[in-house]
Amino acid sequence: MALAISGIEELLGDDADSLLNHTCKTISKDKLHIPSSSYVDEVWYHSDRNNRVLGNLEWMLNHGRLAGTGYLSILPVDQGIEHSAGASFAKNPAYFDPENIVKLAIEGGCNAVASTFGVLASVSRKYAHKIPFLVKINHNELLTFPNNYDQIMFGTIDKAYDMGAAAVGATIYFGSEESNRQIVEVAEAFEYAHQLGMATVLWCYTRNSAFKVDGTDYHSSADLTGQANHLGVTIGADIVKQKLPTNNGGYKALNSGDSSYGKLDERIYSELTTDHPIDLTRYQVANGYMGRAGLINSGGASGSDDFADAVKTAVVNKRAGGMGLISGRKAFQRPMDEGIKLLNFIQDVYLSEEITIA
């Protein structure tokens, strides 16, 4: 049974009025390419993407409970490498078995399942034709001592193609010492993936210890993450994944004192954003070519109120003009029936006609 608007309002609690009735007065919704049933025809059809890429984008957008809406609900489970398997699956050891990951995505009505070469290859013959595979091609491994934060390639585009993947995904740590190498590697990989007909999704994360200034962490500031998104679509990402912005002013903080960092214009803060979460996320959308490359926000770590947090993130993303949510730990670190329920709650936000673009 779908979650009604009254249930969504209840989960939003004190934030319901602010999130559901907000009108964005910074970047008008009229300037955006908003997800719809004809999104591929209206947006990507005019690009240089070949017919096979368009077909795979269409397949993802027309699979699962959100089929035909233009929105995406993706289950990502690459934490076995990114956060270590034990730390990720101890809450629910069933997900050491890759088949349960794919089953959760299918039973949860997702548009696609995103995971590692090993996970998806192990069950590809059984499931690659039943749900779109999004193969993550690089990872940060956490076995080197001391821990080393770098994204390195774990497989090849040819391997992803051979297992029947609809899309490939990658992460770049923008702002890190290794980012120049990662940009080149991923740009080349995405170009080859497009040649073979696969869509591309980029985790546009920022990482640099200097992004923490005077006790404030700007890794998820709207201005820095927005620029990361803009770099991501520049190197060929069809869809960008980004953390929901939690603050703003990263460029300003990094230009304090005698330091000089990047470039900024005060109108980023006075005209293009406010401190409202929908307006901050709208700036992320705008940096993805005004929505020509869809924005999917991450669901974040599992916490004490996952259902409410997931619904809130989905409402902010949808009303900002985003394309959906990619939520993993909140879903797989609990019994499968609860994980399915959480994924369905997210999807119900995008299926709700009462929740519109701000």
Beta bridge partners of 203: 171, 241
Q: Is residue 49 pLDDT above 80, yes or no?
A: yes
Min mean pLDDT across 36-45, 224-233, 300-309 is at 300-309
- pLDDT digits 0-9 by tens, 188-197: 999 999 999 9
Q: Is residue 79 pLDDT above 90, yes or no?
A: no
Residue 357 placed within a domain = no
Q: Is residue 260 pLDDT above 90, yes or no?
A: no
Residue 221 structure tokens: 């500031």
Query: At 80, is the pLDDT very low, low, confident or very high (cuts 50, 70, 90)?
Result: confident
CA–CA separation, 335 and 49 (whole Å): 40
Please report, rounded to a whole number, the percentage of residues in the chain having pLDDT higher than 70.
Answer: 100
Residue 183 placed within a domain = yes
Min mean pLDDT across 11-15, 17-21, 220-224, 252-256 is at 252-256
| pLDDT at residue number 299 | 84
Element at 191 (helix H, strand E): helix 179-196
Query: At 1, is the pLDDT very low, low, confident or very high (cuts 50, 70, 90)?
Result: confident
Query: At 307, is the pLDDT very low, low, confident or very high (cuts 50, 70, 90)?
Result: very high
Residue 185 structure tokens: 């590697």
Residue 79 placed within a domain = yes
Characterize the bridge pairing of strands 212-213 and 216-217. antiparallel
Beta bridge partners of 242: 297
| pTM for the full predicted model | 0.96
Distance of CA 26 to the CA centre of its chain: 23
Q: Is residue 83 pLDDT above 90, yes or no?
A: no
Q: 16-23 long-range contacts, Cβ below 8 Å, gap at least 24?
A: 18/276, 19/277, 19/278, 19/312, 19/315, 19/316, 19/319, 20/315, 20/319, 20/354, 20/355, 22/276, 22/278, 22/319, 22/358, 23/358
Q: Cα-flanking dihedrals φ and ψ of residue 62, to 5°?
A: -120, 30
91 is catalytic: no
| pLDDT at residue number 300 | 78
Give the mean pLDDT of the chain. Answer: 95
Q: Are 344 and 65 in contact (CB under 8 A)?
A: yes
Residue 356 placed within a domain = no
Q: Are 318 and 5 in contact (CB under 8 A)?
A: no
Q: Looking at residues 250-258, what average pLDDT do you find?
A: 87
CA angle, residues 355, 330, 339, in degrees to nearest 5: 85
| pLDDT at residue number 181 | 98
Residue 180 placed within a domain = yes
| pLDDT at residue number 264 | 92
Please list, residue by residue across 195-214, b when 16 or more beta carbons sit within 10 angstroms of its beta carbon and e when fewer do.
Answer: ebbbbbbbbbbbbbeebebe
Residues in the chain, overall count: 358
DSSP 111-151: SEEEEEHHHHHHTHHHHTTTS-EEEE-EE----SSS-----
CA–CA separation, 322 and 34 (whole Å): 8
Among candidate residues 274, 276, 254, the one with its CA nearest the CA of residue 264? 254
- pLDDT digits 0-9 by tens, 110-142: 999 999 999 999 999 999 999 999 999 999 998
Residue 167 structure tokens: 């899309």
Q: Is residue 161 pLDDT above 80, yes or no?
A: yes
Among candidate residues 115, 90, 88, the one with its CA nearest the CA of residue 104? 115
| pLDDT at residue number 226 | 98
Catalytic residue among 25, 130, 136, 241: 241
Residue 113 placed within a domain = yes
**149 vs 107 pLDDT, higher one:** 107
- pLDDT digits 0-9 by tens, 196-211: 999 999 999 999 999 9
How many domains would you assign to the chain?
1
Range of the domain at 27: 5-351
Q: Looking at residues 287-301, what average pLDDT do you find?
A: 94
Residue 220 placed within a domain = yes
- pLDDT digits 0-9 by tens, 314-336: 999 999 999 999 998 999 999 99
| pLDDT at residue number 295 | 98
Characterize the bridge pairing of strands 167-174 and 239-242. unpaired
**CATH code at 347?**
3.20.20.70
Residue 44 placed within a domain = yes
Query: At 81, is the pLDDT very low, low, confident or very high (cuts 50, 70, 90)?
Result: confident
